[in-house]
Structure formats: C-alpha cells, structure tokens
C-alpha cells in the first residue's frame, strides 16, 4: 500500500475538538471583522478618515480644486515610481516635493475625471461620510468594475431599476452610484448616453433573443447570463423559452391567488401599495431638493461622460490605479499635516503593538 493512500492522524488532529457547522460559518464573520479592524487602523494611521471639508472642499469650486490637487499628487507618485525604476531616485530624494522634476499631469486621462466625480459624489451626496476614505474606496470599486467593461455595459443596458427612487442606493459600487446620480441630475438614464457602436458590440449577437423576450413581456436575461452567452458565442434560445415559461407560470399563479384573496387581504394589499407610493413620493421629493442644491450638475454629468469615454474607448484604468489613488490621497494628507504615516514614532509604535499581539498569539499556539 502506498503510504500516501492512508492519512496518518497527527496528535493535533486526534486531540482536536469536534467543530460544528455554526462554528465553521462563524470563521468567515470573524475574519471579516478582523479585516475591518485592521483596515480601520490603517486608514486612521494614513489619515484617510479625514473629512473632505477639512481639506477645504465645501463648495463645488473647492471640491474641483481638491480633485485637481489629488490628480497632481497622483502624477507625482507615478513620476517617483518611474525614477525608482530608472535608478534615479537617489539623485532627487532630498528635494522638496514641489521642486523636484516630477510630472504635474497624470499619464492617464481618466485620473482627473475620476477624482472630480469621486470627490463630488462623496462630499455632495447624502450616502457617504464625506471622507478621504470614501474616495479611496471608490477608486478600488471603479478599477474593479471597469476590469470587465462588457459586463458593466450589460448591467447599464439591461437593468432599468431606478435604485435611488426605490430608496436602495449602492454606495459600494462607483459606477452604480454614478449612473443613479447621473439619472437624477440629467433626467435621463445613462443607457441613453451609450453610443450605438458600444450597444452593438455588446448586444448584437442577442438582438433576436432580446426582441423575442420584449415581445413576450419577459424580463431580459440577466447581465451575467448574457455575458456568459457572449463568451460562448452562442444564442441561448432555450434560456429564453425557459424564461417565458417561468414568467407565464408565475403570472397564472398570481391571477389564481388574486381570485382567492378575501376582502380583508385585498384591503391590506391596497393599504400596503398606498404606503409604498407615499414612500416613493417622499423619496422623490428628497431627491428633487438634493438635485436643486447640486450647483454644478451639468459639469458633473460631463465629467462622468468623459470618464466613461476613457473607460470604454480609451486606455481605461491602469492596473495600479486604486493603489496610486490611495497614495495620492495620503500624499496630500501628509502635505496638510494630517497623516500619521508621516510620523515615524507613531508608525513604529503601531508596528510594535502589532508585534506584541503576534508574539502573544504565537506563544499561545505553541502551548496549546
């Protein structure tokens, strides 16, 4: 018998207590809490919990200025990386940042529109804390979503839900929030701004299926299903038929249930629908008031369109965009004296304390 065929129980496995399904499920939650705590610590040290208003970005004009400063800091970090790659960093490392021969404009045309949109979104809309951390998180989200532009376009073309009107904003998704805000400010969905050649690139292999689904009154296939079908290069007529059958079955079931409702159930459903309509009217009023307070709506929408042109028809987001965006923010915070990372003693203390925790955990593991 091959020795690899039979697992030899170790002393640790023989003595380990039985673990329940609940305990296994709790592992993920505890890991998430640990990640949240370490991220909060890192954000605190970097100063990313600083309010954008504290950086002098309260009015629309001041927020645009902040976006420009972030873009310049982004460009300087790009240039510093280039000096390191070329072995020239030591020659300039003692020069003040503003005097060093560094680029003042980013290499990517997407940087300034992003910072403009992200700063305005984080500080000018009611769904964010209005901190530098918001901008850093939006940068990570933007890079992640733009990595699959076809899926992003499919979402925008197929998902017609007005999320803000429904009262369900999506602040963790840069493009989702920008699309929703664009619709409020421009009065039209972002899908109307997608040019025909991009629509054709995404949807042409499926126009027959889409037309058939629309004719039958069916919901469109999900973006994920469409993307998978695009990747396979096949028209999934069976899926459309399954969607139709499911839709008809659901509709017939609803009709049957409606006929069996008693009068009090019907009254309760009517009252619930009326309350839902009142809630939507309240949300609509709040959105209208917020829209009227947005002083630079036209420029905001145009900057987003500029960003989208770079995403879908330009070079898109650099692979290290989120990292450079965070570094740009931290550079600016350090210039303003708001970053603990600029204080060696503070960082050394944090590393020392983390090392103490590591030592305690290591010692505990050795004795168990």
Report the pLDDT value the prediction gives residue 233, as an integer from 0 to 100.
Answer: 54
Report the pLDDT value the prediction gives residue 255, as an integer from 0 to 100.
Answer: 66
Whether pLDDT at 210 is above 60: no
**pLDDT per residue as tens digits for the range 285-310:** 778 888 887 888 999 999 999 999 99
Whether pLDDT at 204 is above 60: no
In terms of average pLDDT, the best of 17-21, 124-128, 356-360, 361-365 is: 124-128
Contact partners, residue 342, CB within 8 Å, separation at least 6 = 334
**pLDDT per residue as tens digits for the range 67-104:** 999 999 999 999 999 999 999 988 988 888 888 888 88
In the structure, what pLDDT confidence band is assigned to residue 180 with cuts at 50, 70 and 90?
Answer: very high
Contact partners, residue 141, CB within 8 Å, separation at least 6 = 172, 173, 174, 175
Q: What angle do CA 179, 66, 307 make, to 5 degrees?
A: 30
Report the pLDDT value the prediction gives residue 178, as an integer from 0 to 100.
Answer: 95
Contact partners, residue 207, CB within 8 Å, separation at least 6 = none
The Cα 233–Cα 237 span in angstroms is 13
Q: Are 310 and 19 in contact (CB under 8 A)?
A: no
When the pLDDT of each residue in the chain is averaged and rounded to a whole number, the result is: 81
Q: Are 130 and 55 in contact (CB under 8 A)?
A: no
Half-sphere exposure of 123 (CA within 13 A, CB side): 28
**pLDDT per residue as tens digits for the range 24-61:** 888 888 888 887 887 787 877 878 899 999 998 888 89
Phi, psi of 51 (to 5 degrees): -70, 140
Whether pLDDT at 235 is above 50: no
Report the pLDDT value the prediction gives residue 3, as an integer from 0 to 100.
Answer: 46
Whether pLDDT at 1 is above 50: no
In terms of average pLDDT, the best of 83-87, 233-237, 338-342 is: 83-87
In the structure, what pLDDT confidence band is assigned to residue 216 with cuts at 50, 70 and 90?
Answer: low
Give the percent of the chain with pLDDT over 70. 76
Helix (H, G, I), strand (E, B) or coil at 131: strand
Q: Record the pTM.
A: 0.71
**pLDDT per residue as tens digits for the range 304-332:** 999 999 999 998 899 999 999 999 999 99
The Cα 149–Cα 83 span in angstroms is 32
The Cα 17–Cα 15 span in angstroms is 6
Tokens of 359: 């030592």
Short-list 165, 176, 177, 128, CA closest to 287: 165
């Amino acid at each position: 018998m091959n020795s690899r065929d039979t697992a030899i129980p170790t002393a640790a496995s023989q003595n380990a207590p039985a673990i329940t399904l609940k305990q296994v499920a709790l592992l993920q939650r505890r890991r998430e809490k640990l990640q949240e705590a370490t991220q909060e610590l890192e954000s605190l040290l970097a100063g990313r919990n600083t309010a954008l208003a504290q950086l002098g970005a309260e009015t629309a004009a001041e927020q645009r200025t902040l976006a420009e400063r972030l873009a310049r800091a982004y460009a300087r970090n790009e240039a510093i990386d280039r000096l390191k790659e070329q072995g020239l960093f030591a020659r300039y490392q003692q020069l003040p940042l503003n005097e060093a021969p560094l680029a003042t404009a980013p290499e990517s045309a997407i940087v300034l529109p992003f910072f403009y949109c992200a700063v305005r979104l984080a500080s000018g809309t009611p769904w964010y804390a209005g901190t530098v951390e918001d901008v850093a998180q939006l940068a990570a989200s933007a890079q992640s979503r733009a990595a699959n532009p076809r899926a992003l376009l499919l979402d925008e073309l197929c998902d017609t839900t007005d999320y803000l009107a429904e009262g369900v904003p999506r602040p963790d998704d840069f493009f989702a929030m920008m699309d929703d805000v664009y619709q409020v400010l421009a009065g039209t969905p972002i899908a109307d701004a997608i040019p025909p050649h991009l629509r054709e690139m995404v949807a042409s292999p499926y126009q027959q299926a889409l037309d058939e689904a629309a004719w039958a009154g069916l919901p469109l296939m999900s973006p994920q299903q469409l993307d998978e079908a695009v990747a396979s290069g096949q028209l999934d007529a069976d899926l459309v038929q399954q969607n139709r059958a499911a839709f008809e079955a659901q509709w017939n079931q609803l009709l049957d249930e409606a006929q069996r409702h008693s009068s009090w159930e019907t009254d309760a459903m009517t009252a619930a629908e009326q309350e839902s309509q009142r809630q939507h009217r309240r949300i609509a009023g709040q959105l209208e008031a917020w829209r009227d307070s947005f002083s630079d709506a036209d420029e905001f929408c145009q900057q987003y369109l500029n960003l989208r042109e770079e995403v879908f028809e330009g070079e898109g987001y650099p692979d290290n965009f989120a990292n450079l965006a965070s570094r740009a923010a931290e550079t600016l915070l350090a210039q303003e004296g708001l970053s603990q990372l600029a204080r060696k003693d503070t960082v050394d203390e944090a590393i020392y304390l983390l090392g103490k925790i590591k030592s305690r955990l290591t010692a505990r593991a050795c004795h168990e």
